[in-house]
Amino acid sequence: MSRTALLTDHQWARIESLMPSSDGSAGRPFRDHRSILEGIIYRFRAGIPWRDLPENFGPWQTVWKRHRRFSCDGTWDKIHSR
């Protein structure tokens, strides 16, 4: 496992169905949920500011916005319950 690949395939398979869909929403479709989720995990494990997130997770603003969205829409609650 690499330093930035934080979820195993088994872990991802358990929570993938809990990720919200962007189907039917105005605007761009969601960027890959797995890379965004790994960026969120990396940020908390490393204890770094959002702006210092490595670029391979995508733009830090996208990762931050998805974290905020998951906090507001209950996605984190579903993940933690699973």
pLDDT at 79 over 70: yes
Q: How many CA atoms lie within 13 A of 11 on its CB side?
A: 10
CA pair distance 25, 12, nearest whole angstrom: 24
- Radius of gyration of the chain, Cα coordinates, nearest whole angstrom: 13
Res 31: pLDDT? 76
Is residue 25 situated within a structural domain? no
Count how many domains the chain has. 1
Is residue 1 situated within a structural domain? no
∠ Cα 21 32 25 (to 5°): 30
Res 4: pLDDT? 61
Q: Where are the alpha helices (DSSP H) in 1-82?
A: 9-15, 33-46, 60-73, 75-81
Q: What is the pLDDT of residues 10-61, one digit of tens each?
A: 999 999 999 887 765 666 777 788 999 999 999 999 999 999 999 999 999 9
Question: Tokens 């496992």 map to which residue?
Answer: 1
